[in-house]
Structure 1
């Protein structure tokens, strides 16, 4: 009972500090992912400060490019959404008329139609602006954390050596966590680029507007395991329905299902789960749990957060390593103490 109360209190604390913990953890992840740049350059004889500057420049440039692409996607979407409202209203009225002719109750649809009222759209726009403000605040915390951690990263190897002298199991678990984090972010980035290109070709062939925006959306949602494909599919399918008709939208949806769902719904969780040492089921449950704890950003850092807990609580303790036989991709456990 005491242990359960402690876990519940810890989770509650995490929820209250989600505005700080989630972006801070993301900043740590980004530096860990970029750290091999520093280690390889320093091993080749470059001064540490030069290697550190090159690592920082590479990481900051990547973050800036991503931020600019995100700003472009948001501004493009906001500026073009009003152009689709008349077409949506037309299709909505046609659907109501068709249902009335067939004697189908249209009251639920009429209730839904109020959401297209201009005053409601203003309310939605205001809430979206608030969400963007929250995203900017989280991005600022993550960026500042990233800068601070990079400033200290040049002394990581010496600190790890000192800590290994007294707590080798903990440091070995942290090394495993770092390696898994790098594999995870690399796998997600590669999957994102591949799926963005595949979906971009599909959208180009079927003349779906805002192709670049939907490609960027595909890239972002690859960092949300298991369910990210759904959020990548819905907006372009709706756009195809509004601008090109239901036949075009149906074909686009089928192709998205065949490509995006298969890759992002099955293969990617399997690969990223292997990277962090958990199976597909635990990967999906991790997404739900950390999204509940940290909100939308929790969906992005779900697997790295799960791996950190696994590394410190399970992998670092020989008496707890037997749990890996149930949560890992393979029923294989090494270094576990038997039960007495």
Structure 2
């Protein structure tokens, strides 16, 4: 009997990279529906405990479908309304600080000129600085949030379908487990790891956003709820989310109150981020995700380039899904799990 052909690990890696390039190229061209589909799947997983509790209580199937679906829809509607109200407040606030922006630009130009930098081009640009120029951009964004686009319709439709199929899928996995234990284990690990990540990130994101709002209120920074909402959403973006949440309130404070209070805002954000993300979060998240820092950063770059801004928020859940389907499903690929994630695939 012929012995089976075994490929060298290096060749397997090259073939895997080539296959990944093909799949990612396809997803990039189909990002219009792929990104909402992944978001719908993540939201369906996020409300899985509600569905499981209702099942344990003996609720009928239509209740197990309707309650999780309504929970997701109410959450999305509340987030959209909060963003719309906050952005509308920002639109009314920005034009008030045109003079401050020009003054800061002139001071910066004078400072550079004193150290010998040619500021002729910069001086012309400073005269055109005006926060009001951002208003049309924000107004367009606000109109997009308020309107029910085709993406929103697709997202709601997919949520409806996935919530409807979730209960039946659980039964099918139970039946399939005896024949395909590795596949079932991998699929369940997707749900378990994704839910663990979303739950812990949501709790600590809310905690961090609340502390940010309190700090900004004490420092008398305008629109603290908007910046708290930004901090909550940016918390799902690994590595750079903190900076994305910090820059707008710090710049606004610089315009209104000068560099001293802006530095106070930066210091408050740094302390809050250090306590919540560096001290507390690892103790609760632990090894549940099992992604190395390097892989997390690469995931952010790859999924953002493939799916756009939504890919940045979904980077970690998507990588967990890929790891489960490509590595956890096959015990022989445990070496790849250790190499890429810093942790071997965990047993069920």
Instruction: Give the TM interval when normalised to the shorter protein.
Output: 0.7 to 0.9
The answer to whether the aligner puts 1:63 opposite 2:76 as a matched pair is yes
| Deviation of 1:301 (Å) | 0.6
The answer to whether the aligner puts 1:109 opposite 2:127 as a matched pair is no
Conserved 8 A contact 1:291-1:299: yes
Partners of 1:270 and 1:226 in 2: CA distance: 18
1:320 counterpart SS class: helix
Deviations 1:289-321 (A, max 9, x none): 111211111111111110111101000011112
| Deviation of 1:116 (Å) | 2.5
Q: In structure 2, which of residues 39, 45, 50 is the aligned counterpart of residue 32 of structure 1?
A: 45
Q: State the match for 2:297 in structure 1.
A: 284
Conserved 8 A contact 1:192-1:219: yes
Q: In structure 2, which of residues 18, 27, 41 is the aligned counterpart of residue 14 of structure 1?
A: 27
Q: State the match for 1:338 in structure 2.
A: none
2:154 counterpart SS class: helix
Q: State the match for 1:211 in structure 2.
A: 224
Q: In structure 2, which of residues 322, 325, 329 is the aligned counterpart of residue 309 of structure 1?
A: 322
Q: In structure 2, which of residues 66, 69, 75 is the aligned counterpart of residue 53 of structure 1?
A: 66
| Deviation of 1:109 (Å) | 2.8
Deviations 1:87-110 (A, max 9, x none): 212222233345445654323533
Deviations 1:33-71 (A, max 9, x none): 101111111212222222322222222222221121122
Partners of 2:255 and 2:148 in 1: CA distance: 29
Q: State the match for 2:307 in structure 1.
A: 294
1:190-209 equivalences under 5 Å are 190-209=203-222
Q: In structure 1, which of residues 216, 224, 247 is the aligned counterpart of residue 260 of structure 2?
A: 247
Q: Which runs of 5+ in 1 are unaligned?
A: 336-340
Cα–Cα, structure 1 residues 228 and 51, in superposed 2: closer, same or farther, change >3 Å?
A: same
**TM-score normalised by the chain length of structure 2:** 0.85
Q: In structure 1, which of residues 211, 222, 247 is the aligned counterpart of residue 235 of structure 2?
A: 222
Conserved 8 A contact 1:96-1:109: yes
Partners of 1:122 and 1:206 in 2: CA distance: 25
Conserved 8 A contact 2:185-2:329: yes
Cα–Cα, structure 1 residues 45 and 67, in superposed 2: closer, same or farther, change >3 Å?
A: same
Conserved 8 A contact 1:184-1:275: yes
Partners of 2:76 and 2:135 in 1: CA distance: 31
Cα–Cα, structure 1 residues 91 and 118, in superposed 2: closer, same or farther, change >3 Å?
A: closer
Question: Pairwise CA RMSD of aligned residues?
Answer: 3.0
Partners of 2:133 and 2:64 in 1: CA distance: 53
Partners of 1:229 and 1:23 in 2: CA distance: 24
Conserved 8 A contact 2:33-2:154: yes
2:288 counterpart SS class: helix
Would you say how many aligned residue pairs link Structure 1 and Structure 2? 334
Q: State the match for 1:76 in structure 2.
A: 89
Partners of 2:91 and 2:346 in 1: CA distance: 53
Q: Which runs of 5+ in 2 are unaligned?
A: 1-13
Conserved 8 A contact 1:206-1:252: yes
Conserved 8 A contact 1:229-1:264: no
Cα–Cα, structure 1 residues 302 and 246, in superposed 2: closer, same or farther, change >3 Å?
A: same
